[in-house]
Amino acid sequence: MKHMSNYITLSTVIIITAFTVTNGGAFGKSEPRGSDTVLIVPARPGVLQLAFDLENMRDITIVSFRGKPNSSNVLIHVWTGNGWQYVSFDDFCSLRFGGKAPKTAIVIGDDQTVPKALLQGMTWPCKVERLQTMNAADLINGLDPYLKFSSREWKRLADSHGLKLEDVNAPKRDFNPYNIPRSKLPLETHDFKQEKDDTPPAVLIEKK
């Protein structure tokens, strides 16, 4: 299925009444698997739920954090597939929590959500991108350039998070230049280099 560049617009708000931080298990003993993309998210139910939805679609590593913006005390865990595993700050900064170094790390949250110490410690040998929002629609749109959702995945994410899916490319696909009268089509223009004393080139003028 071809990838379609869609945009998701927020239509309703889903209130999550219950959320288990272990997502079905206690702190796991299995080793976290490495992947090309690491998603670093605040430990908040809505964002974590989106991260788990994305993990079901792509091979990504989820890292959650909790801490105040100006605090050096940051609590970090990595999802192993079976449960959350604690990661020390030094191990996080040194990438000693996954099987391999990622190609891209995406940090979710603005400066009031992401601790400065976390960002300063990410001197990783990969691209570190930021999505400074907590809005589900904005996050999904912002993650599309990295994860490249299919049409079916767009619909699945929209349904899962109570969003409205809008295909912004529909007008372009519906456009047919043969249905427009020639009188309403823009004329093609050409620029000519003219030397001094040269006769100006003729200009085509459409008769109406």
For range 138-160, the mean pLDDT: 94
Lowest mean pLDDT among 17-21, 59-63, 69-73, 76-80: 17-21
- Structural domains of the chain in order of their starting residue, each with its CATH number: 28-170 (3.40.50)
**Confidence label for 104 from pLDDT (cuts 50, 70 and 90):** very high
- The answer, yes or no, to whether residue 102 has pLDDT greater than 80, is yes
The whole-angstrom separation of Cα 170 and Cα 157 is 19
Q: How confident is the model over 152-166, as pLDDT tens digits?
A: 999 999 999 999 888
Between CA 84 and CA 25 the distance in angstroms is 8
**Residue ranges in 15-135 assigned as alpha helix (H):** 45-55, 89-93, 116-120
Q: Is the pLDDT of residue 200 over 70?
A: no
Q: What is the pLDDT of residue 100?
A: 81
The encoded tokens of residue 4 equal: 């379609």
